[in-house]
Amino acid sequence: MSPSDKRFLRQFSTVLTILLLVALGLIALAAYIYDRMPQPTDPALQQQVDARIAPVGAVYAGAAGAAAMQAAQAAANKAAASQVAYGGTLDGHVIFNHLCTTCHTAGVAGAPVIGNKAMWGPRIAQGIHVLVQHAIHGYHGPDGNFMPPKGGNPALTDAQIEATVKWMVAQVK
């Protein structure tokens, strides 16, 4: 090996060593800076992560499964009850304007249009109790009419549904 080749290899090795040390120094600096940065504290982010990784369903078998299913249903009912819709108002007009107006002003899915006596007459003849039960539990009419349970908002209480149905019926009379 010639002296110039030895000098080249020594200089090349020195440059590579310096570059390697600079790279390692930059990596260490980046790790130090990353550790010192405040982590995000958005609680909605954790809820999103929990929702994303939550199991899709569960298997309930036997007596233990039936008990687990009842406990899950009770927890769901408690969660729904804690989130009463529209501040718990019993003003049927307010609830109608927030939820029912979409279907009952355009007659969507056979919904009787508010104030239309011809559409409401046969329904009112069945009695207010029947109308309230249809609104609470949902209704599939013989001619394809469809009313989702609680108008599609499970956070409504039965009392809110009843107040809204009574308000809607009063608009026809």
Does residue 14 fall inside a structural domain?
yes
Residues 95 and 31 both lie in one domain: no
Q: pLDDT by residue (tens digit) across 135-173? A: 899 888 887 788 889 888 888 888 999 999 999 999 887
Q: pLDDT by residue (tens digit) across 11-47? A: 999 999 999 999 999 999 999 999 998 876 778 888 8
The kind and range of the H/E element at 106 are none
Residues 91 and 166 both lie in one domain: yes
CA distance 4 to 36: 48
Q: What is the pLDDT of residue 153?
A: 85
Q: What is the pLDDT of residue 80?
A: 65
CA distance 128 to 125: 8
The kind and range of the H/E element at 140 are strand 139-140
Rounded to 10 degrees, the C-alpha dihedral 155/66/138/143 comes to: 150
Does residue 11 fall inside a structural domain?
yes
CA distance 19 to 21: 5
Look up residue 103 and give its two tokens.
């279907």
Does residue 31 fall inside a structural domain?
yes
Does residue 74 fall inside a structural domain?
no
Does residue 49 fall inside a structural domain?
no
State the residue range of the domain holding 12.
Answer: 1-37
> Whole-model pTM above 0.75?
no
Domain count for the chain: 2
Q: β-pairing, 146-147 with 139-140?
A: antiparallel
Helical residues (DSSP H) of 54-157, grouped into ranges = 62-82, 92-95, 101-104, 117-125, 128-137
Assign residue 135 the CATH number of its domain: 1.10.760.10
CA distance 14 to 18: 6
